[in-house]
Amino acid sequence: MTGTPEQGHQEAAGAAAPGPGAGAGPGAEAGSGRTAGEWPLWEVFVRARRGLSHTHAGSLHAPDAELALRNARDLYTRRGEGVSIWVVPSAAVTASSPDEKDPFFEPSADKPYRHPTFYEIPEGVRHL
């Protein structure tokens, strides 16, 4: 269990029967693209097994974090994909803009020495 159940109920209260004034959910404050009465969007990260990082699996709607976690379990770990799940309000993600693509990513194109290709990788090292 994560989060605070107390807080959870109150947040869900708005989501259970949304209407004017509803929407005190965690994603509500940012709420970009969220129409009235719709549950906030959450990004789901799943760790496939110990030793690996959490990777982005997808997104879903849920009234609060506790239920987002459970929905993520039902949607993204049905086939034994995970041992751990993170859920993050989509509104909390700051993404780079396509307009910034060149200044952000172009400068690294001509710097091959940054790639670890000049090293011998010892045998037995996995996930590198």
Partner 1 sequence: MTATAETAPVLALGDDALVLSHRLGEWAGHAPVLEEEVALANIALDLLGQARVLLSLVGDEDELAYLREERAFRNCQLVEQPNGDFAHTIARQLYFSTYQHLLYARLAAAGDGSGPLAALAAKAVKEVAYHQDHARQWTLRLGDGTDESHRRMQRGCESLWRFTGELFQPLGGAQGPAEDVRPGSRPGGVGDGGLGDGGLVVDWAALEADWLSSVTAVLEEATLSVPDGPRRGAWSAGAGRQGVHTEAFGRMLAEMQHLHRSHPGASW
Q: Smaller CB distance to partner 1: residue 78 or 114?
A: 78
Least gap, CB of 60 to partner 1 (angstroms) = 5
Q: What is the chain's length?
A: 128
DSSP 1: -
Residue 90 binds to partner 1 (criterion: CB under 8 A): no
Which amino acid appears at position 3 of this protein? G
Least gap, CB of 92 to partner 1 (angstroms) = 19
Distance CA 7, CA 9 (A): 6
DSSP 107: G
Distance CA 6, CA 15 (A): 15
Q: Smaller CB distance to partner 1: residue 57 or 62?
A: 62
Q: Smaller CB distance to partner 1: residue 5 or 33?
A: 5
Of residues 16-75, which lie at the interface with partner 1 (CB under 8 A)?
A: 16-17, 39, 60-64, 66-67, 70-71, 74-75
DSSP secondary structure letters along 19-43: -TT---STTTTT-TTPPTTPPPEEE
Interface positions with partner 1 (CB under 8 A)? 5, 8-10, 12-17, 39, 60-64, 66-67, 70-71, 74-75, 78
